[in-house]
Structure 1
């Protein structure tokens, strides 16, 4: 897995992984509203607390993009890695059907710009699913430091408050976006909390 991490950044934490393209709709200090186009994700759900699920989820998704798929195809790493709490899981094919299975965390890797479900290789691990999302507007708050569950709750609260003050309506739960590997010095880390809005 260390080779995978190094593909997206250097040992000193410099980011080099591609990021999904977006149009900046609003900038207000640490807050932004961005519009992302159609995006494809590789996702997996792991039951349990945030701190205990990240490694398992990351390994599954890393396996997929490093060739654990029917085509044995390698897929370039992108940033950020997304995580969000879920009580509903097991996404199926479109329309997305979900079955309640317990509490856990959903981790998503953003597939490279231009990816489509029909052109991406099928995951060999049944716990890894591919999902395509329509274009959407996303409110974002950025911060440095650790991406702990406590910080996610704190910044999600600040973002929700800002969304309400600016007249937007939240249409998703908050999700964490991590741009750096775990060994990056905390004050140099780029983290975000994101909420879809309209």
Structure 2
């Protein structure tokens, strides 16, 4: 009986986790090897906050600011659907750029203006990224480990990249650690440019 209850609860958890997942930023898969992918992303509008502090604290503070923006704290009082992932990039040793991507249908000129001056609306250009996907907690050691694996892969495969990792997180905080999707990404440099 306990086993059946466990199966039921686990199935329900999986269903809920998948049914409330935000729309993902779309990309074209160019190449895949194990859990490493080369992707092409189109232009997208984004909302970004730069926060000083350690990664975890900065991400938490910025998330609240950005969530208020998509929840209607903007000049149009417009609610904007949540998308995933939430991106984190270190802009210096002590500052972090935290980014929410706008839905693909939202184009330049249609994105509401934030009422909070800390938020910048940025149109991100087309970009080619290498990504490594993993589950688990977004601990510093887990991120550093996967950053190292991806960096080594790119060097071994003679792919030129900008040595500044992007961290991407796809799930809500209540999703169990073993079901979470996290990624480390590096921007690839086109050798023909």
Normalising to structure 2: TM-score of the pair?
A: 0.85
Alignment of 1:131-170 (within 5 A): 131-170=122-161
Shift, 1:10, TM fit:
9.0
Structure 1 position 184 matched with structure 2 position 175: yes
If you compute each CA radius of gyration, which structure gives the higher value, 1 or 2?
A: 2
Alignment-derived partner of residue 60 in structure 2: 55
User: Is the 1:12–1:184 contact (alpha carbons within 8 Å) kept by the matching residues of 2?
Assistant: no
- Alpha carbons of 1:172 and 1:118: their partners in 2 closer, same or farther (altered >3 Å)? farther
Q: Distance in 1 between matches of 2:15 and 2:173?
A: 10
Query: Which structure shows the bigger proportion of residues in helix conformation?
Result: 2
Structure 1 position 20 matched with structure 2 position 25: yes
Offset from partner CA, 1:123-142 (integer Å, 9 cap, x none): 00001111111111110000
Offset from partner CA, 1:27-76 (integer Å, 9 cap, x none): 00010000001111101011101122222110000011011001111111
Alignment-derived partner of residue 6 in structure 1: none
Alignment-derived partner of residue 76 in structure 1: 81
Shift, 1:117, TM fit:
2.8
Q: Distance in 2 between matches of 1:66 and 1:145?
A: 28
Name the SS for the 1:13 alignment partner.
Answer: helix
Instruction: Tell me: higher relative CO, structure 1 or 2? Use CA pairs within 8 A at least 6 residues apart.
Output: 1
Offset from partner CA, 1:87-133 (integer Å, 9 cap, x none): 2xxxxxxxxxxxxxx72211100110032231101000001111111
> Over aligned residues, Cα RMSD in angstroms?
1.8
Q: Distance in 1 between matches of 2:16 and 2:95?
A: 31
Offset from partner CA, 1:123-171 (integer Å, 9 cap, x none): 0000111111111111000001011222222111111111111221112
Gaps of 5+ in 1: 1-8, 88-101
User: Is the 1:175–1:195 contact (alpha carbons within 8 Å) kept by the matching residues of 2?
Assistant: yes
Q: Distance in 1 between matches of 2:150 and 2:14?
A: 31
Match of 2:46 among 41, 49, 73: 41
Q: Aligned residues, how many?
A: 176
User: Is the 1:172–1:197 contact (alpha carbons within 8 Å) kept by the matching residues of 2?
Assistant: no
